[in-house]
Amino acid sequence: MKDRQLDLLSWSPPVQVIPFPFAANIGKVRRVAVVLDTKQGKAADAYWRRTVQPMADRLTRAGVSQAKVDRQITQFTDAVQQELNRLAFLTSSSRTPE
């Protein structure tokens, strides 16, 4: 046991990817909500897919499990929906009754 030397320079810890949560990226959430607020139907669906797919692909390439990717996209979706609700409330409350 005395003659055995540990090679600490070749040891590497297990990799753990900790992505920045998409839902916490308030700037992106607000930009997406503002754009979605101006689109309807197929145009809104196409914009949403063009926005979310690269996000999911980036996480997948980084080695994040599919369950975690799905969770990130769901949380981002919820954040965008909340922002859309906030925008709708601000719009409706700024209208003055006639």
The predicted-structure confidence for 39-57, as pLDDT tens digits, reads as follows 999 999 999 999 999 999 9
Q: Name the more confident of 9 and 77.
A: 77
Please check whether residue 36 is in contact with residue 44, taking contact to mean a CB–CB distance below 8 angstroms.
yes
d(CA 52, CA 57): 9
Please check whether residue 51 is in contact with residue 32, taking contact to mean a CB–CB distance below 8 angstroms.
yes
The predicted-structure confidence for 13-45, as pLDDT tens digits, reads as follows 776 666 689 999 999 999 999 999 999 999 999
Please check whether residue 75 is in contact with residue 81, taking contact to mean a CB–CB distance below 8 angstroms.
no
- pTM greater than 0.75: yes
Query: CB under 8 Å to 88, separation ≥6 — which residues?
Result: none
